[in-house]
Amino acid sequence: MRQYIIAGNWKMNKTVSESVTLAQGIVAAVKNIKKTEVVIAPTFLAAAKVADVVKGTNVKLALQDIHWKDQGAFTGKISVDMAKEIGAEYIIIGHSEQRQYFHETEETVNLKVKKTLSAGLKPIICIGETLEQRNGGKLESVLRTQIVGAYKDISVEDALKSVIAYEPVWAIGTGVVATDEQAQDTQAFVRSVVKEIYGEKVSEAISIQYGGSMKPDNAAGLLAQKDIDGGLIGGAALKPDTFFAIIAAAEAR
């Protein structure tokens, strides 16, 4: 069975002290969670402090982005070595907000995925279509381009260490969630593209999360779908109780 992963993407929310409090609340809430991988992604600023909170617990640390260079004159960026030193295990790459607002391209996603894997960290590769693309019949071509681009020149061994997050852009932060069927159909397609690239063994092994307005009241339905192996959670990850309710739905699977 594939690993279920519930990851909280805190985006640009919470000060450092608020982040520590939230992390402490989550650590306390999930201490009996055994099967589901629980991941939190605070801001860069709060990450080192949050790392101290989650150390030795069953909560894993992610960062929300990374630069592909090792060091140097790249104002505003951080490197994989910095992420590794504080104990981050996952890096979120290619989030639609990065793609929409901060010039993320298929090429930069690929560079970041390679860098993350070369450091022994796990990329959570975000893909997803806009409503315009879906309604215009471009869903499959958009997702295929994103998947093929992200995995360019990535070996089978490395691909196995990656996670995909399918996040329809129209569902992110909007309260409009994909139906269970829409999400399942699309995630099955995503898996089929991974199969085309790497074969069935890899496509059956990779965890594919759903993201976009996943909440306690819709999580169980989404997480019951065959090709949904967890969630990337924004808004509902900002409170221990709502985040825990989603984790509990995954754990109950």
What residue ranges bind ligand PGA (CB under 6 A)? Answer: 9, 167, 172-173, 211-214, 232-236
Which residue, judged by CB position, is nearest to ligand PGA in the bound state? Answer: 234
Nearest approach, Cβ of residue 33 and ligand PGA (Å): 19
Of 167, 174, 183, 153, nearest in space to 96 by CA = 167
Contact status, residue 221 vs residue 180, Cβ threshold 8 Å: yes
Please identify, using beta-carbon distances, which residue of 136 and 173 lies nearer to ligand PGA. Answer: 173
Nearest approach, Cβ of residue 138 and ligand PGA (Å): 21
Please identify, using beta-carbon distances, which residue of 9 and 36 lies nearer to ligand PGA. Answer: 9
Please identify, using beta-carbon distances, which residue of 79 and 248 lies nearer to ligand PGA. Answer: 248
Question: How is residue 136 written in tokens?
Answer: 């215009």
Of 81, 122, 80, 125, nearest in space to 99 by CA = 125
**Could you confirm whether 67 is annotated as catalytic?**
no
Within a 13 Å sphere around the CA of 126, how many CA atoms are in the beta-carbon half? 28
Cα 219 from chain centroid? 16
Please identify, using beta-carbon distances, which residue of 193 and 237 lies nearer to ligand PGA. Answer: 237
Any residues with CB less than 8 A from the CB of 235 and at least 6 apart, and which?
Answer: 173, 213, 215
SS3 7: strand
Query: 37, 67, 95, 251: which is the annotated catalytic residue?
Result: 95
**Could you confirm whether 95 is annotated as catalytic?**
yes
Query: 37, 104, 129, 167: which is the annotated catalytic residue?
Result: 167
Nearest approach, Cβ of residue 99 and ligand PGA (Å): 11
- The set of catalytic residues is 95, 167
